[in-house]
Amino acid sequence: MAHENCLPWHETTWQLIQRRRVAGRLPHAILLTGPNGIGKERFAERLMQALLCKQPEAGGDACGQCMACQLYRAGTHPDVRRVTAEEQGKSLRIDAVRELIDGLTFKSQYGGYKVASVSPAERLNRAAANALLKTLEEPTPETLLVLVCSRPSSLPATIRSRCQAMPFAVPEREQALVWLRQQGIESPETALDVVAGAPLSALAIAGSDNLALRAQLLEDLERIASGGSGPTTTAARYAKHDVQLVCSWLLSYVTDMIRLAMVPNPPGVRNSDSRKGLTKLAAAKNPVELFEYQDALMNARWMSETQVNTQLLVEDLFLRWDRLGKR
């Protein structure tokens, strides 16, 4: 059975885990790290289901048929716990973390493994991290805790050191393109490029009107730069959208502008479909100011993950863009 959570670029890590499982050396806690949009959660689900399955396949995947698999798919398996962020920017709930710990501590209700996942683990606050630490220090047999994290440096070192780290990287471009075409995206190149090669992010934006909005964003940058429209009016259009996405597009555009401003025909231009427009914009701006703007964007992208006033954040970014070269 082709498992819905099987992603081709996970195969090496999957086989590594399976070898450990066969050898009886599966760790109690795994830390899946790597950028967003490459399917770390899917890997966690694939692994958790495989451990609960009563008749796993030869490759280690869940059978999808047994009672455990049916309960898992229905979301009613009693030996699975998950803690996820309920709201953008908020910490993971401490009571949810405590419930998860209880689930791992008590006897398995269905016989066999008990599994749990925490995602994104960087949202554990200090109290929750401390509670989890005790479980990591004294694990019960046949338990697996999977922490999913795109910023492992923001996890306490005490947590990190007690987990088996499994780093995931962005897949090879060709592999990602093949996979996206299999998902029904006819021309996935632009979508993949604008999300820095993360296939699941590419799939999300290719199937929506986000790509059109991204093209519009470049036009708006041009219009503000030429004095054709005001930054505040423009900002209003984007504040209603996924601000994290808008910040990452701006960052990607400006990073390309810096590349294009430094050398002719630079390699690694991510927005290759917009090279002409970006070259023109880059030529009209001072590179030092572009670097400063890039810093501001990185900061904004980080802020956009917290509970910030998105209207003000976006407005500030367009005002800064408008001011470039006017000081």
Q: Give the integer Cα–Cα distance in Å for 161 and 123.
A: 18
Per-residue burial over 37-53, b = 16 or more CB atoms within 10 Å of its CB, e = otherwise: bbbbbbbbbbbbbbbbb
Q: Which residue from 17, 32, 44, 69 is in contact with Zn ion, where contact means CB under 5 A? A: 69
Query: Which x/- pattern over 41-60 shows residues binding Zn ion (rule: CB under 5 A)?
Result: ------------x-------
Packing angle between helix 173-182 and helix 199-206, nearest 10 degrees? Answer: 40
Query: Is 202 an interacting residue with respect to Zn ion (CB under 5 A)?
Result: no
Query: Is 71 an interacting residue with respect to Zn ion (CB under 5 A)?
Result: no
Near Zn ion by CB under 5 A, which window of 16-24, 66-74, 139-147, 256-264?
66-74
Nearer to Zn ion, 68 or 118 (CB): 68
Q: Give the integer Cα–Cα distance in Å for 49 and 63.
A: 9
Q: Give the integer Cα–Cα distance in Å for 134 and 101.
A: 9
Q: What is the DSSP letter of 76?
A: -
Nearer to Zn ion, 68 or 132 (CB): 68
Near Zn ion by CB under 5 A, which window of 61-69, 89-97, 133-141, 203-211?
61-69
Q: Which residue from 62, 180, 251, 258 is in contact with Zn ion, where contact means CB under 5 A? A: 62
Nearer to Zn ion, 50 or 221 (CB): 50
Nearer to Zn ion, 69 or 254 (CB): 69
Those residues with Cβ within 8 angstroms of residue 152's Cβ, 6 or more apart along the chain or in another chain? 31, 33, 122, 160, 165
Query: Is 63 an interacting residue with respect to Zn ion (CB under 5 A)?
Result: yes
Q: Which residue from 66, 94, 170, 196 is in contact with Zn ion, where contact means CB under 5 A? A: 66
Q: Give the integer Cα–Cα distance in Å for 293 and 194.
A: 19
Nearer to Zn ion, 51 or 297 (CB): 51
Q: Which two tokens stand for residue 180?
A: 């996206």
Near Zn ion by CB under 5 A, which window of 30-38, 63-71, 210-218, 303-311?
63-71
Q: Give the integer Cα–Cα distance in Å for 38 and 122.
A: 17
User: Is there a contact between 179 and 7 (Cβ–Cβ < 8 Å)?
Assistant: yes
CB of 138 to Zn ion, least distance (A): 29
Site residue total, Zn ion (CB under 5 A): 5
Nearer to Zn ion, 48 or 62 (CB): 62
Nearer to Zn ion, 55 or 187 (CB): 55
Those residues with Cβ within 8 angstroms of residue 176's Cβ, 6 or more apart along the chain or in another chain? 9, 170, 188, 192, 197, 199, 202
Q: Give the integer Cα–Cα distance in Å for 153 and 49.
A: 28
Chain residues binding Zn ion by CB under 5 A are: 53, 62-63, 66, 69
